[in-house]
Amino acid sequence: MPKPHYGSEMRGIGGSAASGTHLALPGALAKPRALALGLALGLALTACSSSAKSVPQPKASGVPSAGSSSHARPRAGTADVAFAGSLLAVDNEVVGPGFERATGYAYTGRGGGSIGLAHEIAAGEITPGVFESVGAAPIAVLEPKFTRWYVQLAASPLVLAYSPSSPYAATFEAVAAGKKPLEALFSAMATPGFRLGRTNPATDPQGQAFVMMLELAQASLHLPAGTLEKIIGKGVLHGTGGRQSQIFSETALDAHLEAGQLDAASAFLSQAVQLHLHYVTLPASIDLGNPADASSYARASLVVPGSTPGTTTTVHGAPLVIDATTLEDPSESAASSQAAAAFVAYLASPAGRAAYQKEGFTLLPEKISGPASAAPPAVRRAVSRAASRATS
């Protein structure tokens, strides 16, 4: 779901963008603020996915710095977190600094596509201590060598973001306000010449989710036959063809939308909130954001390239859930392992959850999947505390 990375050229600049520096852009551009945000985000992603790590400055979260009584005593150990690109803002700006203050450990973060990150971790290209993924499938790539468990944190429902300068903006607004039926949304998208943007289903969970959302909509909303093909082209479900001109890289997609060059684009609710995009929420039955609907989501499926060239694999719809785990690495120091466990525990704490909720994620009850005994004690304690809070 993730927003992958981009170009190794950009490390230095990315670092500064991630630490809260915004690029100044010519005011003559159509939407300077939105663009600046998009650029900063894009640059940050770039930096995060490269080997240069960005360390957020405390001031980025607007909290008083050193000397404040809220600070924990500094401790050795760094939580090195690889996260789905859609978590960039919340992790680097809010959770990371909060974690440092609360625990005294240091934090570094890198964002990227969940699947891509999993491949990089599996290949030994990067060695983070924590992996936060959208969906459990990327974590499965790492089992059992790196981890055998994960904890579910929050859901990230899919929405349709749109450009207010689009000729279809009025239709979207009306649908968002409930003044027009949802079908109007899909018939608008099926209009010839509609400029839709989405991400690559071959590499990005969001790209897969968007196609499956259309499948679910086609079935559950009883759309006219062929609507899906009119929207994204023929053959997409079978892993061939489709309208390639709709495919954008995860970062560029937002930039194109904010520049008014697209009528609408797929997005996570959290992204739409963070980037102040205009968006239409979708019903839980098709937005892949509700774990309770997992069985109906599973009816949607899509063929994508397999993990060896020339092969294909079929993926089924599943809730878009943020899962986190710690990664075993023999070369890692004990302090780093403790910092990694402390980070996941912090994510499960009330402070971590509040941050996620504020940034547009739907909180889910914490639940450890896999053998609970494999999870570090700190994580187990945090999860059980959360469970007792929920029951009380």
Partner 1 sequence: MSSRVDRPAPRLVLTRPIRLSAVAAIAAGVVVWLALLGPLGALLAHISPAATRASLGAPGALSPLFVSLEASALALGVLVVAGTPLAWLMARDRLPAPRLFEAGVLVPLLMPPLVIGLLLVFMVGPATPLGGALAHLHLSASNTFFALVVAEVYESAPYYVLGAQSAFAAVGTELEENAALLGDSRARSFRRVTLPLAAPGLAMSLATAWARAMGAFGAVIVIAYHPYGLPMQIWVSLQESGLASALPFALLLIVVALPLPLVAYLWSARARSARIEARHLAVP
**Which residues sit at the interface with partner 1, rule CB under 8 A?**
4, 6-7, 9-10, 13, 23, 29-30, 35, 38-39, 42-43, 46, 113, 115-116, 119-120, 122-123, 125, 165, 195, 200, 202-204, 244-249, 251-252, 255-256, 259-261, 304-310
Which one, 2 or 97, has the nearer CB to partner 1?
2
Q: In angstroms, what is the minimal distance from the CB of 201 to partner 1?
A: 10
Kindly calculate the radius of gyration of the chain based on its CA atoms and give it in whole angstroms: 21
Strand, helix or coil for residue 267: strand
Element containing residue 315 per DSSP (H, E): strand 312-316
CB-based burial, 7-25: b 16+ in 10 Å, e otherwise = eeebbebbbbbbbbeeeee
Q: In angstroms, what is the minimal distance from the CB of 22 to partner 1?
A: 13
**Residue 228: other Cβ atoms inside 10 A:** 21
Which one, 122 or 176, has the nearer CB to partner 1?
122
Q: In angstroms, what is the minimal distance from the CB of 343 to partner 1?
A: 25
Strand, helix or coil for residue 336: helix
Q: In angstroms, what is the minimal distance from the CB of 307 to partner 1?
A: 5
User: Going along 39-176, which residue ranges are E strands?
Assistant: 78-84, 106-112, 130-134, 150-155, 158-162
Sole residue written with tokens 């690559």: 200
Strand, helix or coil for residue 83: strand
Distance CA 322, CA 87 (A): 9
Which one, 9 or 170, has the nearer CB to partner 1?
9
Closest CA to 42 of 87, 85, 105: 85
Contact 155, 294 (CB under 8 A): no
Strand partners, 304: 313
Closest CA to 59 of 100, 29, 8, 110: 100
Tell me how far the alpha carbon of residue 157 is from its chain's centroid: 10
In 130-249, which ranges are continuous DSSP H helix? 137-142, 169-176, 183-189, 205-220, 227-232
Would you state the structure tokens that stand for residue 7, as one six-digit string? 């170009």
Strand partners, 155: 321, 362
Q: In angstroms, what is the minimal distance from the CB of 312 to partner 1?
A: 11
Q: In angstroms, what is the minimal distance from the CB of 134 to partner 1?
A: 14
Q: In angstroms, what is the minimal distance from the CB of 315 to partner 1?
A: 12
Q: Are strands 158-162 and 150-155 parallel, antiparallel or unpaired?
A: unpaired
Which one, 68 or 313, has the nearer CB to partner 1?
313
Which one, 13 or 354, has the nearer CB to partner 1?
13
Which one, 13 or 182, has the nearer CB to partner 1?
13
Which one, 109 or 113, has the nearer CB to partner 1?
113
Q: In angstroms, what is the minimal distance from the CB of 215 to partner 1?
A: 21
Q: Are strands 312-316 and 264-268 parallel, antiparallel or unpaired?
A: unpaired
Which one, 5 or 53, has the nearer CB to partner 1?
5
Which one, 248 or 279, has the nearer CB to partner 1?
248
Contact 102, 72 (CB under 8 A): yes
Which one, 42 or 56, has the nearer CB to partner 1?
42
Q: In angstroms, what is the minimal distance from the CB of 34 to partner 1?
A: 11
Q: In angstroms, what is the minimal distance from the CB of 243 to partner 1?
A: 9
